[in-house]
A and B are shown apart, each in its own frame.
Chain A
Amino acid sequence: MENINRNEEGYLTDFSQWTKDVGAEIAKDKEIEMTDQHWKVVDYLQGKHKNEEALSIRGIKKSGVVNIKEFYSLFPGGPLKISTMIAGIPKPKSCI
């Protein structure tokens, strides 16, 4: 993890450095044990990021990958903030 570039909040500054191990390590810091369902969400978020689509809670609702209740229980304590950090993509800027 020492060689991974992260900003002061802990988000990766270079996505090319992201691997599943890096994601799992960040998740561990947040006391999250990654499951298949967690990785499915990460995959969805990375896809959105790649297509330069903004992330929002409404987008999560429509994603078909996870519903909002489940999203909150998978990533407790600020789901979009935490899941994007694990996914190695920037923190979402939207207010919704």
Chain B
Amino acid sequence: MATKVKKMLFILSKATIENVYAAFIMANGARMEGIEAEIFFTFFGLEAIQKKKLEKLHVATVGNPAMHIPTMLGGLPGMEAFATKMMKKEMEKLDMPPVGEFLEILSDSGVNLWACKLAVEMFHIEESDLIDDLDGILTIGDFYNRADEDGTHLLFI
């Protein structure tokens, strides 16, 4: 079956777990539908591809009205860790893989994973800090060039 969306390019700029999973699930979902997919990790999104940080991402409990708890409570020590633990438990029930395993699945599924050059330099990140499955470090211009074909969509998360 012909599909109008041929390629999805995701720009992940945040490290909160709900945003990271949104990008991962949509990229994986694209591949499962026969659509090409790539993710460009920039700014805080880089946390999701740093070996030492990727399993320690949190859900945002402050400034997030959908948590349905007072913002003051969300700021208490341990609240983020608690909310994250609860969310991970629910994810496991749905067979959603942890971040590291998810990245492996994405890479094996043919999703290209790119780090943003400017953000890598800004945060003083070494290439050795980043996951082995990374396809490379790109400038935004390089990334736009990858969008240069019909049926490509860009999504900023």
- Which residues of A come within 8 Å of B, CB atoms? 54, 56-59, 61, 67-69, 72, 76-81, 94-96
Contact = CB atoms under 8 A, between A and B. Distances in A.
Given A56-B95, A76-B34, A95 B105 contact: no
Contacts of A77: 34
Contacts of B25: 95-96
Q: When A and B form their complex, which 3 residue pairs have the shortest distance between CB atoms, in order from nearest? A: A68-B108, A77-B34, A78-B34
A40 B33 CA distance: 22
B17 to A, nearest CB: 15
Of B33, B101, B105, most buried by chain A (CB within 10 Å of CB) is: B105
Contacts, number: 46
B95 A72 contact: no
A72 B109 contact: yes
Interface of B: 25, 28-29, 31-34, 94-97, 101, 105, 108-110
B110 A96 contact: no
B95 A69 contact: no
Contact of B32 (A59, A61, A79): A79
12 contacts: A57-B32, A57-B105, A58-B105, A61-B101, A67-B108, A68-B109, A72-B31, A72-B108, A80-B32, A81-B34, A96-B94, A96-B95
A72 B94 contact: no
